[in-house]
Structure 1
Amino acid sequence: MLSVRLERLNDLDEWRGKARRLLVAGMKPSQVVWRVGLEESGLFEAGDDMLPDTDGPIGSVPRQFIDLAGDVIQHSDPQRFAVLYRLLWRLQDDKHILANAADSDNSLLTRMASGVHRDAHKMKAFVRFRTVEHEGDERYIAWFEPEHFTLEATVPFFTRRFAGMHWGIITPYASAFWDKENLRFGPGGNKKDIPAEGAVEDDWRTYYGAIFNPARLKVAMMKSEMPVKYWRNLPEADRIAPLIRNARQMEEEMIARATTQPPARHMRQKAREVDEKVQQIQSLANAADAIDSCRRCPLYEQATQAVFGEGPKEAQIMFVGEQPGDQEDLQGRPFVGPAGQVFDEAIKNAGIDRRRLYVTNAVKHFKFIPRGKRRIHQKPNAGEIQACRFWLNLEREFVKPRIVVALGATAAQSLVGKAVSISSMRGKPIDLEDGSVLYITNHPSYLLRIPDPETKAREREKFEADLALIHAHIQRLEKS
């Protein structure tokens, strides 16, 4: 048995270097044991000094595997190195393993990657800096206990967000320090080394109290998204219990303060004014210009701007989402926020080129409720969907896509004209009156909201399977 030793817990380049040498030596996965740092080798394990050196690439693997390995290498499961090498060994003979969601190695690594993504998200959400004095200069320090070895890969997020601060993040296995210009890493530390209280503690408590919405309180969901194990490091955690106790009273006060909607006749007059302005629309560009004056429903009053579709004016395929999100509303472009990133990755995995797609939304303005400094997404109602069908129908008329994909129930309702069940309709091509074919699947934001990693991975596979089916349809059209 060969003992392969790694110096670092989560260094992909180090693991790849060792894996290349193992491939050159023809070492089967069953002949290899992976050790890290000072971990003791077994009595009958030989060292890896006998492995041949190699400078160039050995064999080939899909880029998808490298991306997957970059995530998995951060997982805390000690078997991650062995499973990665086993899959790498198998990929030398079968390059299609990664497309097989039922493969045990592929499935296991996908779940590990999902766990790492979730851990990185929790670090971004739950790191809380505390102030410390250093030679008369104010600096910031934070303690965090990740489940996996995600600090190195996640910390660039903090260098971008807090670029003008001196700060450090301490975890049990490693630490990161930023001096406004340079990022350096050091050994791990202990929570007792972090100040128990800082000047920004009250700010966090005030912020949490401001964004707390008693009308949408679901304790089980809250504990899923903000696990109790993180509470001991969150200054705002001491506000949670009293806010929950007083939620009913707070909700009644919110209802009493609620604003009224404009009279129906006022909205009808606004719609007539817009109709007069859009009568001269003769092209997709005209429609994109005219939508800024849309007053067909009240959503325009709160949104930053209308978000029109984007893509080639003669695209063969049109993807229709629900509505713009926070980032889309600010940038004025569809699918550029977190859900858009999931969408981009999924269509790339399915072999679909986004540059050839027209992407838009069923509703063109962002519907939300303010919660402190945040804007929380709200689902459009039937009236708002119906009002915006005018613009979606214009896009379909001018683009003339051969395939239309409804992402989520709102988009499906807008395109079909009634509420439909995604689970019963997905994967089934539906002929529309204009001659195009409709496919229905989940919205990518649905994947972001699933807390359980296994469920999220399973739903992601179903989503990408839908996209693969659509890609196959595209290819058939191109050959016809």
Structure 2
Amino acid sequence: MRAVMLEGKGDFIEWRNAARTLLLERRSPQEIDWRCRDDAAGDLFGPAPETVPLAGVAPQATLTVPQAFLSLAEAVICHSDPARFQLLYRVLFRLQEERALLEIRSDVDIAQLHAMEKSVRRDCHKMTAFVRFKEIEGTLPRRRFLAWFEPDHHIVARAAPFFQRRFTDMDWIIATPKGTAAWDGANLTTSTEPADNPMLTDDTDALWRTYFANIFNPARLKVKMMQTEMPKKYWKNLPEAQLIPGMIASAEASVVAMAERAARDAPLFHERLQAAARAVPDVPSPPAGTLEEARAAARTCTRCALHCKATQTVFGEGPADARMMIVGEQPGDQEDLAGRPFVGPAGKLFDTVAGEVGLNRTQAYVTNAVKHFKYEPRGKRRIHQKPNMGEVQHCKWWLKLELDLVKPKLVVAMGATALAALTDSRQKLSDLRGQVLSFGERQSLLVTVHPSYLLRIPDADRRMEEMSRFRTDLATAATF
């Protein structure tokens, strides 16, 4: 039996050099007794292994090792299980004959290897999530911070680059029982020497508790899931964790209280804006039969359910006697907030191309087939959703009123929704695109794509081709 003594604190190079020498000597895994120095020092009653110095390796000697194994080994070597060295060497030895071994996930050794890698990866993730820096006094021009964390494995050196990238503008030290990492603005240093808990507190502890108390939703509490993501072993070093037992105990009562006060809560921002928009100003009513009257009436439109979530009605704008009317699909996020059509990315693209072909937007009446923004909330973003035909039909009344009041000579339908709202046609937009069609009494209709379609084309060549066709369509409108 050959004994190999390692420091065993996450140093991959240390294990790799030993394993390479043993493998070139064709030492089988059964012949090797891998030991950690700390474990051996604590074994007072076990026999001391005979540590044999590793032989030198001939310069011409080479080994072929799959890159996938190296990536796994660099993670697994950080695991705290002393059996990791033997496992890694056993897999390495087998790989010399079983080249596809890593692909057999059901193999006992490979399964254990991946389980260890997953445990190390999870420990790194928990470290990035649960480190809490506290400011300490210093004489340097940069602020200094200290954090204490208790990892399960030897991951300090592995996780330190994340903190260097994230907190590069301050000096910090992360102390753990398994080593220390420090950043001074120029150098990132790590040590495997265990540190003592400094037991620091500062004003940010209260901020963490305030933040946690305000994001806690008792109606969505799942204790087992919460403890999976925030295991109890980390609670003692998290200032906000002091609140968790009380929050869990009072969750049911908090849900009841939330339900009782729901009706008295202040309305959401868009509801307040809607209420302000519906308020009748203390000014004379606009003349009957004008766009101003139609615009005022549209502010309180409830013909379809879209008004419930939209901030406000986005009515058309432009000269009341415009010779051209441009009809899009519906307002987007920016239009919904501004209350004006075509002011977002698609509107800016339209303005750019229109300017290139001599089409003056200020001389045209610009509107949409649907007057309210339809969207799906995703976090803080509002993602556009295409209106269905029922919503288009409900809003068609307003579009027809605009056509009757403005009486344009040319109507430009941009997109399939606008075409459907104007004509009830089931023809494909691509079949009518670029054509000037008869429309109404002494009116014409030009069909083209919506500018937002151009913004969504991923292929650069196709986007340029479609942009050229769109420019041609607007040029046709400009010279009509």
TM-score by shorter chain over 0.5: yes
Change (3 A) 1:200 1:300: closer
Q: Give the Å deviation of 1:23.
A: 0.8
Aligned partner letter, 1:78: P
CA distance in 2, matches of 1:243, 1:276: 44
Q: Give the Å deviation of 1:117.
A: 1.0
- Is the aligned partner of 1:298 residue 2:302? no
Q: Which residue of 2 aligns with 1:82?
A: 86
CA distance in 2, matches of 1:17, 1:48: 14
Specify which of 188, 206, 209 is matched with residue 210 of structure 2: 206
Offset from partner CA, 1:238-285 (integer Å, 9 cap, x none): 222343315315643567446378952547x98x9654899xxxxxxx
Specify which of 133, 137, 148 is matched with residue 133 of structure 1: 137
Q: Give the Å deviation of 1:70.
A: 1.0
Q: Which residue of 2 aligns with 1:468?
A: none
> Number of residue pairs matched?
306
Please give the residue correspondences for 1:64-463 in structure 2 after superposition, counting only pairs within 5 Å.
64-135=68-139, 138-186=143-191, 187-191=193-197, 193-195=198-200, 197-244=201-248, 245=250, 247-249=254-256, 251-252=258-259, 253=261, 256-257=265-266, 259=268, 264-266=305-307, 274-275=328-329, 297-299=374-376, 304=381
Q: Which residue of 2 aligns with 1:20?
A: 20
Q: TM-score, structure 2 length as denominator?
A: 0.55
Q: Give the Å deviation of 1:47.
A: 2.5
SS at match of 2:137: strand
Change (3 A) 1:190 1:250: farther
Change (3 A) 1:116 1:250: farther
Offset from partner CA, 1:63-111 (integer Å, 9 cap, x none): 1111111111111111001000000000111111111110000000101
Q: Give the Å deviation of 1:37.
A: 2.7
Q: Which residue of 2 aligns with 1:11?
A: 11
Report the aligned-residue RMSD.
Answer: 4.0
User: Residue 292 of structure 1 contacts residue 306 of structure 1 at CA under 8 Å; is this kept in 2?
Assistant: no
CA distance in 2, matches of 1:166, 1:188: 20
Q: Give the Å deviation of 1:57.
A: 6.6
SS at match of 1:101: coil
Offset from partner CA, 1:94-151 (integer Å, 9 cap, x none): 1111111100000001011111111111111111112221347752111111111111
User: Residue 274 of structure 1 contacts residue 296 of structure 1 at CA under 8 Å; is this kept in 2?
Assistant: no
Q: Quick check: 257-266 or 91-100, which moved more?
A: 257-266
Q: Give the Å deviation of 1:35.
A: 1.6
SS at match of 2:150: coil
Q: Which residue of 1 aligns with 2:324?
A: none
SS at match of 2:195: coil
CA distance in 1, matches of 2:52, 2:221: 56
Change (3 A) 1:225 1:57: farther
CA distance in 2, matches of 1:395, 1:225: 39
Q: TM-score, structure 1 length as denominator?
A: 0.55
Change (3 A) 1:300 1:239: closer
Aligned partner letter, 2:242: D
Q: Give the Å deviation of 1:304.
A: 4.9
SS at match of 1:299: strand
User: Residue 12 of structure 1 contacts residue 69 of structure 1 at CA under 8 Å; is this kept in 2?
Assistant: yes
User: Residue 120 of structure 1 contacts residue 150 of structure 1 at CA under 8 Å; is this kept in 2?
Assistant: yes
Aligned partner letter, 1:156: P
Change (3 A) 1:156 1:50: closer
CA distance in 1, matches of 2:101, 2:51: 31
CA distance in 2, matches of 1:112, 1:131: 35
Change (3 A) 1:56 1:70: farther
User: Residue 21 of structure 1 contacts residue 54 of structure 1 at CA under 8 Å; is this kept in 2?
Assistant: no
SS at match of 2:35: strand
Q: Give the Å deviation of 1:7.
A: 2.8
SS at match of 2:147: strand
Aligned partner letter, 2:196: N
CA distance in 2, matches of 1:79, 1:237: 34
Change (3 A) 1:5 1:55: farther
Q: Give the Å deviation of 1:307.
A: 10
Change (3 A) 1:100 1:306: same
Change (3 A) 1:44 1:77: closer
Aligned partner letter, 1:170: A
Q: Which residue of 2 aligns with 1:350?
A: none
CA distance in 1, matches of 2:184, 2:384: 39
CA distance in 2, matches of 1:57, 1:99: 27
Q: Which has the higher contact order (CA 8 A, sep 6+)?
A: 1
User: Residue 20 of structure 1 contacts residue 58 of structure 1 at CA under 8 Å; is this kept in 2?
Assistant: no
Change (3 A) 1:65 1:217: same
SS at match of 1:149: coil
SS at match of 1:85: helix
CA distance in 1, matches of 2:129, 2:8: 26
Aligned partner letter, 1:98: L
Offset from partner CA, 1:203-253 (integer Å, 9 cap, x none): 211221232223322122111111111111111112223433153156435
SS at match of 1:107: helix
User: Residue 376 of structure 2 contacts residue 383 of structure 2 at CA under 8 Å; is this kept in 1?
Assistant: no
User: Residue 156 of structure 2 contacts residue 178 of structure 2 at CA under 8 Å; is this kept in 1?
Assistant: no
Change (3 A) 1:297 1:11: same
Q: Quick check: 117-126 or 237-246, which moved more?
A: 237-246
- In the alignment, structure 1 segments of 5+ residues that lack a partner are 279-288, 309-389, 397-480
Q: Quick check: 161-170 or 34-43, which moved more?
A: 34-43
CA distance in 2, matches of 1:84, 1:239: 42
Name the % identity. Answer: 36
User: Residue 20 of structure 1 contacts residue 57 of structure 1 at CA under 8 Å; is this kept in 2?
Assistant: no
SS at match of 2:168: coil
Q: Give the Å deviation of 1:58.
A: 3.2
CA distance in 2, matches of 1:31, 1:199: 57
- In the alignment, structure 2 segments of 5+ residues that lack a partner are 275-301, 317-326, 333-344, 350-367, 386-451, 459-480
SS at match of 2:40: coil
Aligned partner letter, 1:157: F
- Is the aligned partner of 1:29 residue 2:29? yes
Change (3 A) 1:257 1:73: farther
